[in-house]
Amino acid sequence: MQNNSSIIEMEAERADNQLTSDMQLGTTPTFTIELKHITNAISALKNKNSAGLNDVSNKMIKLLPKPYHTLIWSSFKSFASSLCSPPHWHVAKMILLSKTKTNIVNVCDTRLILLLPYFSKLYEKIFLIQLHKWVNDNGILPDEQTGFRPGHNMAVRLVSIIDQIGQCLALNTAAAAIFVDFKAAFNQLWYKGLWLKLYKLNCPTYLIAWLRNYLAGRAAYIEIKETKFSTFTLYKGVPQGSCMTQQFL
């Protein structure tokens, strides 16, 4: 008799195969990108000087003349229609920052920073418009979930928790709380399980297909004092530093 884990794994495999079939047949519709989406996303970028793999920073993108927004818009529409993106957008530059002030640092005492191509992050912001619309229109997330959600304040949730504790104390009853921390959560995302979960939530196929392409073919390299080391493939997890990362949690 198969256990629940095996059943879920088989369901996830079927979901992945179904997604592959839909993408090969070209039956997945695309999402609409408007020029105002590009302009608003560029305006909202922070003036950062740090650059990713292509040596382009947010500050440089914000300085682009308005006519170039149309060029970006045209490119993004092409990517959306084919549900794909340039391969080099899937490569991250990794920088190790020391947590100590010593000259010789142990790897365990470093903090990892991932830099991604900023045009890739801009494209992610455009996709998030579609993802958030589906999530909000269908009430996917409960009102109590405030993390990484626009218009939801964590302080309000903390006040609500304190209020609930106060009510329990007033009634002389116990107040129970569960605190969970998933170790290396960003690095342990199960892709096929994600497709299965989204299918069960009746997520549009084109959104799942976009996410699959987004997570596929990921790679990274480490750079220390302008010395670049060999690129290696990433087989699981989500790219830290991406504006998409929080959406998976």
pLDDT tens digits along 24-38: 776 666 778 899 999
Contact 53, 92 (CB under 8 A): yes
How many CA within 13 A on the CB side of residue 29?
5
Report yes or no on 16 lying in a domain: no
**Average per-residue pLDDT for the chain:** 84
Report which DSSP code applies to 57. B
Report yes or no on 96 lying in a domain: yes
Structure tokens of 77? Answer: 């529409």
Distance CA 167, CA 155 (A): 18
Report yes or no on 68 lying in a domain: yes
**Average of per-residue pLDDT across 146-167:** 81
Span of 14-23, 49-58, 78-87, 206-215 with lowest mean pLDDT: 49-58
**Average of per-residue pLDDT across 132-155:** 80
The answer to whether residue 4 scores a pLDDT higher than 70 is no
Span of 43-57, 69-83, 186-200, 205-219 with lowest mean pLDDT: 43-57
Pick 208 or 184 by higher pLDDT.
Answer: 208
Contact 160, 177 (CB under 8 A): no
**Average of per-residue pLDDT across 71-76:** 94
pTM, entire model? 0.80
**Average of per-residue pLDDT across 83-110:** 81
Domain count within the chain? 1
Report yes or no on 194 lying in a domain: yes
Q: For position 1, what pLDDT does the model report?
A: 46
Report yes or no on 215 lying in a domain: yes
The answer to whether residue 245 scores a pLDDT higher than 80 is no
Report yes or no on 207 lying in a domain: yes
Residue 70 lies in domain? 29-247
Report yes or no on 123 lying in a domain: yes
What is the sign of the dihedral through the CA atoms of 101, 103, 109 and 114? positive
Contact 146, 153 (CB under 8 A): yes
The residue assigned the tokens 């790679």 is 219
Report yes or no on 172 lying in a domain: yes
